[in-house]
Amino acid sequence: MPDLLLELRSEEIPARMQRKAAGDLRKMLTDGLVEAGLTYEAAREYWTPRRLTLDIRGLNARSKDIHEDIKGPSTSAPEQAVQGFLRKAGLSSIAEAHVHSDPKKGDFYVAHISKPGRAAEEIIAGLVPDIIRTFPWPKSMRWGPASARPGSLRWVRPLQSILCTFGPETEEPVVVDFEIDGIRSSNITYGHRFHAPGEITVRRFDDYVSKLEAAKVVLDADRRKEIILADASNLAFANGLDLVEDEGLLEEVSALVEWPVVLMGEFEEAFLAIPAEVIRLTIRANQKCFVTRPQGEGETLSSRFILTANIEASDGGKEIAHGNGKVVRARLSDALYFWKTDQGDLPDLVELEASAEKFGLDLKKPLDQRMARLDHLNVTFHAKLGTQGERVERIARLAQELAPIVGADSALASRAAVLAKADLTTEVVGEFPELQGAMGRKYALLQGEHASVAAAAEEHYKPQGPSDYVPSDPVSVAVALADKLDTLVGFWAIDEKPTGSKDPYALRRSALGVVRVILENKLKLSLGIAIAAAVSSALAAYEQKGEGAVSRGVVAMLDSRIRDYKGASRLLLEAGLISNLLKGGLAKASSESFGSADQEREFFDSQRLMELEASLSPLIADLLSFFHDRLKVYLRDQGARHDLIDAVITPQSDDLLQIVRRVEALGSFLDTEDGKNLLAGTKRAANILAAEEKKKTAVAETVEPALFRQDAEKSLFAAVNQAEKQAGEAIQNQDFSAAMLALSVLREPVDSFFEHVLVNDEDLSVRANRLALLARIRTATGQVADFSKIAG
């Protein structure tokens, strides 16, 4: 069968666009071929800085003839229906249709459509120009005299030639002829811009690849990566060094060259006084070069770096390496200046005294100075959520609240939170934002901070994705949770939630980070309480500062009538009010929840309390739902069954660790014979009960043993009482395996009940009593999970 070779050659395509563009070309062309009635055996895309190439094997030489019968309306149908049928079938008049008869339906119209197949060359010649004109480049341009014409061709960089050949291996392939804006397809391409700029005539893919290779072009991007990595590693090893591998940089460099030539450059050892991260990022960002380290010396870097040229220079690359070294030295000189400047005193220390006093900062320490400047400059975090300084206040207050729960020292957590954002105003982070956090850790250690405080400065941003590591130091955990919870509560309060695929503030990532921090550190933490603590932190800052100063978004979420409620922020946590709200509102609050009788009266005598509950509950419930969605994604990635997760989670579930343990215990139980049989019986009971409730059949409020007529009823009643009690006690002790074991005793009595007892007895009181017994089964098992949501 014939093969198709297509190459679109242009000026240099930006490295970040190449891989996706090649994939888009393959998808657009193969989709178009299939839609036109052609099939193929395989398709693969290739790319270099100057070309996108597609190799399609086993393509049909011709599309199939199409014969289709389109059934129309009755011959007695109104004219409107007939016209609709003609448009659908593509007929010009009803005379072109045929009349068929049906013994039951009578006569009706049928259109017999025949479309002859088309040659593949014809289809390709029409398809490729359309693809080129509609190609989804992120950015594109017009060029040359034709650019003045409306509708002229756009491409990422000026398109220079199109190669398109088609034919089987046993015959001479043909050029698929078409033209777009003066560029006519051919069987000609060009090699390396400097080494082999002349014309190259090709027939099919195999000789195309070999001729390009001879013309100093490696077509396969993955092979270019292998060449660069192998040559760089070997060159480093030959000089007694190890290459510091960087997959992202390797991907980028392979997209900058068609003929990779690896060379080594050098800079002065004095620059090694700069932190390794800064050196690496300076060389990576500005020169796209790899750094090296002495063999077996961990994170210590050497003064040599690896660069990738696109030509084989006559001097062996000495001038290229020398030129790159000059640029690297200039960049490292800047980095050294930034590094030293960050460790010196700021010139405006007098102006920072008020901020230093507010945060308890020591202006003799460089990082403390940077935090004071961050607050003094009123750097905006978000227009509706205040400044970075105000946010640090909230995070520090919240981290201090969370510290005892996660096993951290409250003073260290507060100090870490105060310094966590300080490196935002450093010179190094200003030049290299990617080093945010990492530089905070280095500067914290340099000024003698506790190791946990320094670690939290970097780790509180973690995890930043599903594969990123999770902090385990308790201080880092406290600050990481505080940072993410403050972000989520704030954006929820100003109604800036993620919508569809849009998540400009990375709130899904923040929520997943909270989920991972809690679960992977096995924290027993109520998310409802944590959310309430974040609100409490914002309110406390608001009360301390006055209206308009801090936490504007969170306060705006509350009714204006309770904004001046003194002490609300502290009592929210101390009185345990939020936990009561989550469990069902103020009706379940007890005097033991309050610190004093006066506090109790102050809350219960005030209408404002009801308003506070009404204001906070929707935010907490909505955020919990958002966390549940992230938890489901996380657990599914871990291999958990989606139906078991749904069965365990309720809108009020706020203990993530408990949810996970419930899912694990439920999954283990359902893998047993008792579990499978109990599931079947429980679902049968639930279905019967749901059907009767839908019909508004009377169900007794309580089970009355006096109405039992059969032993199976008595046995089930006794088993339910036992299982309900034992399962409840096990759940109180967080022993979910024991809870499942307690429920397993229901298996036999449930089976016996359905075998010997007719639920819908003629006696209405007996029927209502038996339905109540089924309700007790649902209640007993519902302590562990909603069995009706489990598949099977």
Three-class DSSP category at 107: strand
- pLDDT band for position 540 (cuts 50, 70, 90): low
pLDDT at 638: 87
For range 429-435, the mean pLDDT: 90
Residues sharing a CB contact under 8 Å with residue 561, sequence separation 6 or more, in sequence order:
608, 611
Kindly report, residue by residue over 555-572, the tens digit of the pLDDT: 444 433 233 333 333 334
As beta bridge partners, residue 179 has 184
Top pLDDT among 619 and 206 is at: 206
pLDDT at 785: 83
Kindly report, residue by residue over 683-712, the tens digit of the pLDDT: 888 888 888 888 888 888 888 888 888 888
pLDDT at 527: 84
Q: Is the pLDDT of residue 546 over 50?
A: no
pLDDT at 441: 95
Q: Of the ranges 189-193, 281-285, 610-614, 695-699, which one carries the lowest mean pLDDT score?
A: 610-614
Top pLDDT among 735 and 186 is at: 186
Cα separation of 201 and 237, whole Å?
Answer: 41
pLDDT at 74: 86
pLDDT at 526: 81
Cα separation of 275 and 299, whole Å?
Answer: 10
Burial 450-460 (b: 16+ CB within 10 A, else e): bebbbbbbbbb
Give the residue among 495, 402, 527 at the shortest CA–CA distance from 456.
402
For range 103-122, the mean pLDDT: 85
Q: Is the pLDDT of residue 139 over 90?
A: yes
Question: To the nearest whole percent, how much of the chain has pLDDT over 90?
Answer: 51
Cα separation of 121 and 569, whole Å?
Answer: 74
For range 410-428, the mean pLDDT: 95
- pLDDT band for position 297 (cuts 50, 70, 90): confident
Cα separation of 260 and 216, whole Å?
Answer: 9
Q: What angle do CA 243, 249, 252 make, to 5 degrees?
A: 140
Helix, strand, coil fractions of the chain, as percent rounded to 5: 55, 15, 30
C-alpha dihedral, 631 to 632 to 638 to 641, nearest 10°: 150
pLDDT at 585: 33
With 0-12 / 13-18 / 19 or more C-beta atoms within 10 angstroms meaning exposed / middle / buried, residue 350 is: exposed
- pLDDT band for position 614 (cuts 50, 70, 90): low
pLDDT at 666: 85
Please report, as a single letter, which amino acid is at residue 452.
Answer: S
Burial 277-287 (b: 16+ CB within 10 A, else e): bbbbbbbbebb
For range 470-478, the mean pLDDT: 96
Q: Where are the alpha helices (H) located in 590-606, listed in sequence order? A: 597-604
Please report, as a single letter, which amino acid is at residue 378.
Answer: N
- pLDDT band for position 574 (cuts 50, 70, 90): very low
Please report, as a single letter, which amino acid is at residue 566.
Answer: K
Cα separation of 728 and 743, whole Å?
Answer: 10
pTM flag (> 0.75): no
Give the residue among 156, 163, 266 at the shortest CA–CA distance from 208.
163
Residue 423 is encoded by which pair of tokens? 């490196």
As beta bridge partners, residue 266 has 304
- pLDDT band for position 727 (cuts 50, 70, 90): confident
Listing DSSP states for 757-771 in one string gives --SS-SSHHHHHHHH
Average pLDDT, rounded, for the chain: 86
pLDDT at 609: 45
pLDDT at 541: 58
Element (H, E) at 621: helix 607-637
Three-state secondary structure of 528-591: HHHHHHHHHHHHHHHHHHCCCCCCHHHHHHCCHHHCCCCCHHHHHHHCCHHHHHHCCCHHHCCH
Three-class DSSP category at 6: strand
pLDDT at 97: 87
pLDDT at 792: 66
- pLDDT band for position 320 (cuts 50, 70, 90): very high
Q: Is the pLDDT of residue 601 over 80?
A: no
Q: Of the ranges 481-485, 557-561, 604-608, which one carries the lowest mean pLDDT score?
A: 557-561
pLDDT at 141: 95
Q: Of the ranges 205-209, 340-344, 558-562, which one carries the lowest mean pLDDT score?
A: 558-562
Top pLDDT among 79 and 554 is at: 79
Q: In whole angstroms, how far apart are CA 101 and each of 73, 109, 110, 111?
A: 12, 9, 10, 14
Bond preceding residue 463 cis, omega within 30 of 0: yes
C-beta separation of 594 from 600 below 8 A: yes
Residues sharing a CB contact under 8 Å with residue 698, sequence separation 6 or more, in sequence order:
764, 767, 768, 771
Residue 617 is encoded by which pair of tokens? 């509950």
Kindly report, residue by residue over 751-789, the tens digit of the pLDDT: 888 888 888 888 888 889 888 888 888 888 888 888 888
Listing DSSP states for 72-89 in one string gives EEETTS-HHHHHHHHHHH
Top pLDDT among 321 and 792 is at: 321
Element (H, E) at 326: helix 318-342
C-alpha dihedral, 628 to 634 to 639 to 642, nearest 10°: 20
